[in-house]
């Protein structure tokens, strides 16, 4: 399927929950409401015409200092999906505010979401509701803050502490 068709198919199915779509540089993208996120992802995976069987990447972006987005929802959680059978891609995003930085987990859909979500929690402080193992992935547990947030200064140093015994 072409990117436009994928976006259209998802729009038809989820209508009001789709906040925004675009195809900048050929990457089919849609932003969905958090409440419908897991339904959208499950539909992407299970619908035969879409069959996105690989969660290729899961990350987040902190839009705190992005021009025009300073007031808007701070975080975007970004899912890059790929279909081995159809050889097509889609990017699904959802937006969350800082005070309520929580997204439902996708571990039940793809086991790889476990580590990807741990990394997003570690780096951005976005929680994944229902995650079976919500530890940090790269930093150590004693680390304070979330380093990829835009308000985390790059030169801040913290004592290196080993894993707790």
Terminal C-alpha separation, the chain: 51
Within 82-111, which residues bind another protein (CB under 8 A)?
A: 84, 87, 89, 91, 110-111
The yes or no reply on residue 134 touching another protein (CB under 8 A) is no
The yes or no reply on residue 54 touching another protein (CB under 8 A) is yes
Please identify which residue in 29, 40, 94, 105 interacts with another protein, judged by CB under 8 A: 29
Count the site residues for another protein by CB under 8 A: 37
**Site residues (CB under 8 A) for another protein?**
24-25, 27, 29, 53-57, 59, 61-62, 65-67, 78, 80, 84, 87, 89, 91, 110-112, 114-115, 123, 136-140, 147-148, 152, 154, 163
């Amino acid at each position: 399927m072409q990117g436009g068709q994928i976006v259209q198919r998802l729009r038809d199915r989820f209508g009001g929950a789709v906040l925004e779509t675009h195809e900048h540089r050929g990457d089919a993208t849609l932003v969905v409401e958090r409440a419908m996120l897991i339904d959208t992802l499950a539909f992407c995976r299970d619908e035969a015409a879409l069959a996105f069987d690989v969660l290729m990447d899961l990350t987040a972006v902190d839009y705190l200092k992005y021009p025009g987005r300073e007031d808007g929802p701070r975080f975007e959680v970004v899912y890059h999906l790929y279909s081995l059978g159809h050889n097509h891609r889609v990017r699904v995003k959802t937006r969350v505010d800082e005070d309520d930085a929580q997204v439902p987990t996708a571990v039940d859909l793809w086991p790889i979401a476990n580590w990807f979500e741990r990394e997003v929690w570690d780096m951005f402080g976005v929680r994944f509701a229902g995650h079976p193992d919500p530890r940090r992935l790269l930093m150590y547990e004693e680390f304070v803050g979330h380093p990829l947030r835009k308000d985390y200064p790059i030169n801040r140093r913290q004592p290196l502490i080993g894993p707790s015994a």
